[in-house]
Amino acid sequence: MKTESNLPDFGRSVFVCSKPLQALHCASIARHCGIRSAALHVLAENVDQVEQFNQFFQLTDHRRQFLSVDWHSDHRSAAAAFERTDYDSIFIEDDRVSNYQIYAPLKKRFLSVFEEGIGTYVGPIVQQVAGLRLLKWRLVALRSGCGLAYGGGRATDFVFVQSPAAYAKLRPRFAVKARWFPGLMSELDTCHASWQELVDQILPPTIDSDVPACLVLGTWGSTPSDFQQVNSISDRIMYFKPHPHDGHVEDIHEAILLKETWVPAEVLVEALAQRHSDLLVVHHASSVQFNLRERDARYTFLDVAAPELSALVQSVLTADKSRP
């Protein structure tokens, strides 16, 4: 496994995340950094099927990277819970504005940000607001020290990303903070048998491996009918995975519904690629294409997001290719 010589001793560490995928990133960092005393705090707010994820997670080696796993309704309750414990370092997914204001005052040894998705590389507030609102956020950042981009917090020591080269190219001001960690796919590989058993249970029997298939990854509030106008999927078996924040999704007729919304899309992509000779993955500026960039090209991607959003994803993929 790749290691880095510039990693400090983080000591007793607290990880806070808000999605099942990010919990796997936390496990990857704890494993990579050799953190023997780690506590994971997961925010259950707005995440569907929390109990199903927790039941699975508890039985895997992902869970064994942490001494404890606790669930909270929001960031403030998570911070209040670990503030009463003995800890040295904090790992959070976002050091912009409100998150920073909650966690920066609790910093002891190190405060680190870990990759939450494609937005870590290209998601600054300055691209989302303008005028008086932008002036307001700049004043807030100046006063509080929070970041306007991921990793930009004044008290933030490190940013753990799967591609430091991409982060350095797209965030040159904070490049010195970037640290590599193995990331999602490496962590999934460590528990391959557990995930394989799970997908065998949730995927329907193979219909016909010679029939091309399409996996549609829903964005918030979307349904398969929202994607029907995409010509590339008209002659394919369609699978539909709702967004994990969407909650319960009723059975649908246009596609095979994959109801386990908490399962990382990357797991389903690789499983379906084993079942179909031709798989197209339709997404909406998601991180899936980036996370799978180093895997076998047994599938293709189609980003149907607005051009400006698709361009952000492509900018990260291009920047990643610049690594030595």
pLDDT per position as a tens digit, 74-117: 999 999 999 999 999 999 999 988 899 999 999 999 999 999 99
pLDDT value at 220 more than 80:
no
Top-confidence residue, 319 or 128: 319
Given a cut of 70, whether residue 245 has pLDDT beyond it is no
Mean pLDDT across 134-138: 75
Q: Domains (ranges, CATH) in the chain?
A: 13-186 (3.40.50), 201-320 (3.40.50)
* Highest-pLDDT range among 41-45, 79-83, 231-235: 79-83
Q: Give the model's pLDDT for residue 174.
A: 94
Instruction: Enter the pTM of the model.
Output: 0.91
Mean pLDDT of 2-12: 78
Q: How many CB atoms lie within 10 A of CB 92?
A: 26
Q: Report the mean per-residue pLDDT for the chain.
A: 88
Name the pLDDT band for 1 (thresholds 50, 70, 90).
very low
